[in-house]
Amino acid sequence: MCGINGIMYFNGDKLDRSILVNMNISIQHRGPDAGNVEIFGNIGLGHRRLSIIDLARHADQPMISDDGQYAIVYNGEIYNFAALKDDLLALGFNFKTSSDTEVVLKAYEAWGTSCFQKFNGMFALAIVDKNIDELIIARDSLGIKPLYLHHSLGLIVFSSEIKAILEHPKVNRAINNQSISEYMWYGNTLGNNTFYRDICEVLPGHFLRFSKSGCFTQAAFFEAQSVEEHEISEAHAVAKTRELLAESVERHM
């Protein structure tokens, strides 16, 4: 399953490692195989690992790029990572692990945020560019993997679970009454709302970029409205559905 955590300060505050450690401990159940935190200036990353593909310690996270510029924490599985790895090898990249995490990291090195459109799978991730003190967080196109965010003046806190965000003493615990109403009516909160007023979900198919000055941008790399409609026969639709289902099962395996 795995889990990710992170903190970013914009106001010059010194990052308290113990807060990041406590966040990581609070989601230990998501990844019992390893738990690490690293601080990169004004940004801290934490990860809980459930080892699946590459069981070796060198595949633990946060994972650092070969040149030391980028660091990543990642939760998920990219089903087409082998094909992407072949593309990256052709571009001259070398790999030290057999993990899909390293493929995701090198894909970002090669293609920037355009890499998210190439991923066939489920993911929640954070990437730090240490050269410019920049943070990127992203969530898969359907929001399969959870990713929550607190964004206030001078502070970013994110995690795979809300309770980890609440480990930060500066996060306001005020209840979102609108979300309670939504839950009572519909059985869930709507949009990116949560039960906490100052904690939201990162929208599916979106990434956010935070600069060291506190400026941020949000952009979609996938939108359901962009799916094209095709006029085909029922027989063709049935055959195509079987084909796509078989391909999907193969990727998942």
Q: How far apart are CA 76 and CA 85, in angstroms?
A: 16
* pTM, rounded to two decimals: 0.91
Query: CB within 8 A of 14, min separation 6: which ones?
Result: none
Task: With beta carbons less than 8 A apart as the criterion, state whether 204 and 141 touch.
Answer: yes
Residue 115 appears among annotated catalytic residues: no
Q: How many Cβ atoms are within 10 Å of 25's Cβ, its own excluded?
A: 14
Q: What is the pLDDT of residue 157?
A: 98
Q: How far apart are CA 200 and CA 206, in angstroms?
A: 13
Q: Is 71 exposed, middle or buried (0-12, 13-18, 19+ CB in 10 A)?
A: buried
Task: With beta carbons less than 8 A apart as the criterion, state whether 119 and 103 touch.
Answer: no
Q: What is the pLDDT of residue 54?
A: 62
Q: Which of 2, 115, 200, 215 is catalytic?
A: 2
Q: What is the pLDDT of residue 224?
A: 77
Q: What is the pLDDT of residue 248?
A: 86
Task: With beta carbons less than 8 A apart as the criterion, state whether 9 and 214 touch.
Answer: no
Number of helices and strands in the chain (H, E): 6, 12
Per-residue pLDDT of the chain (253 residues; tens, 9 = 90+): 899 999 999 988 889 999 999 999 999 999 888 889 999 999 999 999 887 776 777 778 999 999 999 999 999 999 999 999 999 999 999 999 999 999 999 999 999 999 999 999 999 999 999 999 999 999 999 999 999 999 998 999 999 999 999 999 999 999 999 999 999 999 999 999 999 999 999 999 999 999 998 889 999 999 877 677 888 999 999 999 999 999 888 887 7
Q: What is the pLDDT of residue 214?
A: 86
Tokens of 46: 């934490």
Nearest residue to 136 via CA among 217, 191, 79: 217
